[in-house]
Structure 1
Amino acid sequence: MSTRSARPRGWPLTLVLAGVTGLSVGPFYWLVVSATQKDGDIFDWPPRLLPGGSLGDNLDHLQAKIGLLRVVGNSLLVAGLQTAGALVVALLAGYAFAKFRFRGRTVLFALLLSTLVVPEQVMLVPLFKMMMSFGLLDSYQAMVLPGLCVPFAIFLMRQALSGMPDELLDAARVDGAGEFRVLWSVVVPVMRPVLAALSIFLFLGSWNQFVWPLIALRSPEMHTLPVALATLHGNESNTDYGAILAGTALSTLPMMVLFLVLQRQFISGLLAGATKG
């Protein structure tokens, strides 16, 4: 009787969750459907709810106008290198802040946290001058190097590593392991869910970055996908919305693949953080 009486009470919650899911998935579904339609059919009313047959044409237009394969390759290269480098820096710095006692550690960590309140736009001009003085403008180095040190990632790794028992690390040291061996054989396996979650956030931030690539890159051959798509915007009469929406839909694929690959560890990391305590 209790089970039967509990079922009707769950219907309002189910309806609310279904409505929220529809609001979340609806815009993405419209994006995918519009990416498969001709430019003139996108703004029809009532809107078309079934995919069309123009996806190939829209992708061909993108390839002809911006070099789609080249800009996607640029984005994948920059986002991949930046994510991998930022994970290494965050792991090393977080490990040092969490497990080593050295003079000035508290001050350095406080300075690191203070950078979290500095808007990214404030750093654009100094960063541009720095890259220009190094002769790195319009290069992959200008895109990757500024994103290697992410204060939030270091803070997250430091907080996660603070909960790791020191006895576990001391046992590895007693067995003769050096610090890098301890880091690779002990710390990395334990921190794998955190690293997976952090890699998704870092890759998402790098993949969608627009302002800095727009400033630092000058030649179309170096453009990343967000910058290249922005160049397609003209006035209302000559903007190819079908191609733009096809490129936008395509830009979501790497994030989906990354999440599908890391979803088990990502969810494990979230659950570990939720149940900790």
Structure 2
Amino acid sequence: MDVTLRQLDVFVAIVDQEGFGAAAAVLGMSQSSVSHSLASLERAVRGELVHRAAPVRPTPLGEVLLPHARATLAAARSFDAAAAAHASAVAPGSIGLAVPPTVARGLLPGLLRLWHERLPHVEIRIFEGLDEEIEEWLESGAVDAAVLIDPEPMPRGGLHLATDAYEAVVRSDHPLAGEESVELADLLDDPLLATTSGCETQVRRLHSLTGLPYRPTQRIRELATLLSMVEAGLGVAIVPSLAAGMMPGTLTLIPLLPRLERRLVLTGPAARPWHPSVAAIRDLCAEAAPTW
């Protein structure tokens, strides 16, 4: 099968940009060249890869082949960077880094400042997503690195960046707001608002540890929406302490007992070689911790 990296790049760009014109703009190609490249790839794989109606979406065959295309392109980027680093001791280019929302607010600004100051030749593109999305992006090649929550087992080469704990979030005028800590049972008098953005597994575990039933009255995907609902007086919630950077002044965090922590781990993919710049940002974090 005669398939080129350019054809794969076009295929991925069309899917990501949801159209041929937008893909052409991103790739710096004419729209006719984009269409021709995709048509050539479709002839090679003997099937249509995308539905042509706007917004463009992958066909069932496209869904099957898209992760392989991403992984191939990611491996090619790593190959080029490794060759360049061998020749010049510098691995230029850009890498994609996926992070959960709380990490994006709580840790990322300091990390980006460190990387920019010490590794100015490395461009880092940030992708914010849910825990399960991030793992899929990393292994599919959509990103080159990620901050994972409590990965098991610990990824080979991964770096334990930080640890934070789950805490109760209540309105500042709530009767519990002045307490130094609260038991999970103390929250039972209020409706429990839960987020499905990566925290729910740990909150379920916390209830299991105490023998209390897990009965959220609402399950909300976006953490920002959850905090808005707490602010509106619709209930209380349990969130990681890094969420403090997302909270308005009308809300407060209270340490929760029993204490349940989570590990934040910076890592590259498990199933293919790392881009050299991923190893570089990891090593810099290890060297500079905890100054960032």
Structure possessing the higher relative contact order (Cα contacts under 8 Å, 6 or more residues apart):
1
Larger helix proportion of the pair? 1
TM-score (norm 2): 0.18
Larger strand proportion of the pair? 2
